[in-house]
Amino acid sequence: MKKWIPIVSGLLVGFIAATISFADFSGKTNTEAASSNKSNAEKVYVPFGQKDDYYLFASGGHSGQMFIYGVPSMRKIRTIPVFSQDSATGYGFDEHSKKLMGGYTWGDLHHPAFSETKGDYDGKWMFATDVGNSRAAVVDLKTFTTKDIIKVPNTAGPHCAAFVTENTEYMFLPTRFAVPVGQKYESLDDYSQKYRGVMSAVTFDEKNVKLNIAYQVALPPWSYDLSDAGKKGSADWAVMTTYNTEESTTTMEVNASQADRDYIVLFNWKELEKMVKEGKYEDVDGQKMIYPEKQKGGIYLVPVAKSPHGVDVTPDGKFFIASGKLAPTMTVFSFEKAFKAVENKEFAGERNGIPILNYKSVMEREVNPENALGPLHTQFDDKGMAYTTMFISSEIVKWDPKTGKTLDRVPVQYSPGHSVAAEGDTVSPDGHWLVALNKIAKDTYLSVGPSHPESMQLIDISGKMKVILSAPVDPEPHYAQMIKADKIKTINVYPKDTKNPDAVYKQNDTKIVRKGNEVHVYGIAMRSRFIFDHKAKRPDVIEVNQGDHVFIHLTNIDFDEDITHGFAINSYDLNMEVQPGQTNTMEFTADKAGTFPIYCTNFCSALHQEMNGYFLVKPKN
Partner 1 sequence: MNDSRKRHKLSITSSLLITVSAILIVVSLFFPWWKMVFYAPQYPEGLNIIVYPNKLQGEIDIINGLNHYIGMSNFSKENFPELSYLSYLIGGLAVLTLLTAILRNKKVLYGLIGIITIGGVVGVLDLHFALQKYGTNLSPKAPIKIDPFVPPIIGQNTVANFTTHSLLGTGIYFVIAAFILLLIPLWKDRKK
> From the CB of 522, what's the least distance to partner 1, in Å?
19
> From the CB of 526, what's the least distance to partner 1, in Å?
6
Count of beta carbons in the 10 Å neighbourhood of residue 161: 29
- Per CB under 8 A, the segment of 36-44, 138-146, 415-423, 602-610 that binds partner 1 is 602-610
Q: Which is nearer to partner 1, 439 or 527 (CB)?
A: 527
- Per CB under 8 A, the segment of 266-274, 305-313, 386-394, 605-613 that binds partner 1 is 605-613
Asked if residues 161 and 136 have their Cβ atoms less than 8 Å apart, the reply is no
The Cα 341–Cα 317 span in angstroms is: 17
Size of the site for partner 1 (CB under 8 A): 9
> From the CB of 68, what's the least distance to partner 1, in Å?
23
Mask for 305-344, x = binds partner 1 (CB under 8 A):
----------------------------------------
CA-CA distances (angstroms) from residue 148 to 120, 459, 502, 611? 23, 34, 20, 32
Asked if residues 323 and 305 have their Cβ atoms less than 8 Å apart, the reply is no
The Cα 162–Cα 65 span in angstroms is: 15
Q: Which is nearer to partner 1, 446 or 606 (CB)?
A: 606
Q: Which is nearer to partner 1, 49 or 279 (CB)?
A: 49
> From the CB of 605, what's the least distance to partner 1, in Å?
8
Q: Which is nearer to partner 1, 495 or 619 (CB)?
A: 495
Asked if residues 133 and 105 have their Cβ atoms less than 8 Å apart, the reply is no
Asked if residues 436 and 412 have their Cβ atoms less than 8 Å apart, the reply is yes
The Cα 411–Cα 408 span in angstroms is: 11
Asked if residue 606 binds partner 1 (CB under 8 A), the reply is: yes
Contacting partner 1 (CB under 8 A), which of 193, 607, 609, 619? 607
> From the CB of 599, what's the least distance to partner 1, in Å?
17
- Per CB under 8 A, the segment of 18-26, 300-308, 317-325, 604-612 that binds partner 1 is 604-612
> From the CB of 502, what's the least distance to partner 1, in Å?
20
Q: Which is nearer to partner 1, 223 or 579 (CB)?
A: 579
The Cα 29–Cα 175 span in angstroms is: 49
Q: Which is nearer to partner 1, 5 or 606 (CB)?
A: 606
Q: Which is nearer to partner 1, 271 or 497 (CB)?
A: 497
Asked if residue 34 binds partner 1 (CB under 8 A), the reply is: no
What ranges make up the beta strands (E) of 337-494? 347-351, 354-357, 363-367, 375-380, 386-390, 395-399, 406-411, 416-421, 433-438, 454-460, 466-473, 480-484
Q: In what order do the strands lie in the sheet with 347-351?
A: 223-229, 237-243, 261-268, 299-305, 354-357, 347-351
Mask for 170-199, x = binds partner 1 (CB under 8 A):
------------------------------
> From the CB of 48, what's the least distance to partner 1, in Å?
11
Asked if residues 467 and 419 have their Cβ atoms less than 8 Å apart, the reply is no
The Cα 179–Cα 185 span in angstroms is: 9
> From the CB of 560, what's the least distance to partner 1, in Å?
5
Contacting partner 1 (CB under 8 A), which of 526, 544, 550, 611? 526
Determine the 3-state secondary structure of 539 from DSSP.
Answer: coil
Q: How far apart are the first and last CA of the chain?
A: 107
Contacts of 575 (CB under 8 A, 6+ apart): 87, 90, 93, 566, 567, 568, 569, 601
The Cα 253–Cα 235 span in angstroms is: 34
DSSP bridge pairs for 332: 321, 365
Q: Which is nearer to partner 1, 130 or 558 (CB)?
A: 558
CA-CA distances (angstroms) from residue 354 to 302, 351, 482? 10, 5, 36
Residue 129: which H helix or E strand, with range?
Answer: strand 120-130
What residues from 545 to 574 belong to the interface with partner 1 (CB under 8 A)? 557-560
Q: Which is nearer to partner 1, 111 or 529 (CB)?
A: 529
Contacting partner 1 (CB under 8 A), which of 520, 527, 534, 549? 527
- Indicate the residue type of 379: Q
Q: Which is nearer to partner 1, 359 or 559 (CB)?
A: 559
Contacts of 192 (CB under 8 A, 6+ apart): 221, 247
Q: Which is nearer to partner 1, 17 or 607 (CB)?
A: 607
> From the CB of 540, what's the least distance to partner 1, in Å?
15
- Per CB under 8 A, the segment of 71-79, 235-243, 391-399, 603-611 that binds partner 1 is 603-611
Q: What is the DSSP letter of 609?
A: G
> From the CB of 548, what's the least distance to partner 1, in Å?
32
> From the CB of 577, what's the least distance to partner 1, in Å?
18
> From the CB of 610, what's the least distance to partner 1, in Å?
8
Asked if residues 130 and 497 have their Cβ atoms less than 8 Å apart, the reply is no
> From the CB of 94, what's the least distance to partner 1, in Å?
23
Asked if residue 604 binds partner 1 (CB under 8 A), the reply is: no
Mask for 428-457, x = binds partner 1 (CB under 8 A):
------------------------------
Q: Name the residues that contact partner 1, by CB under 8 A.
A: 526-527, 557-560, 606-607, 610
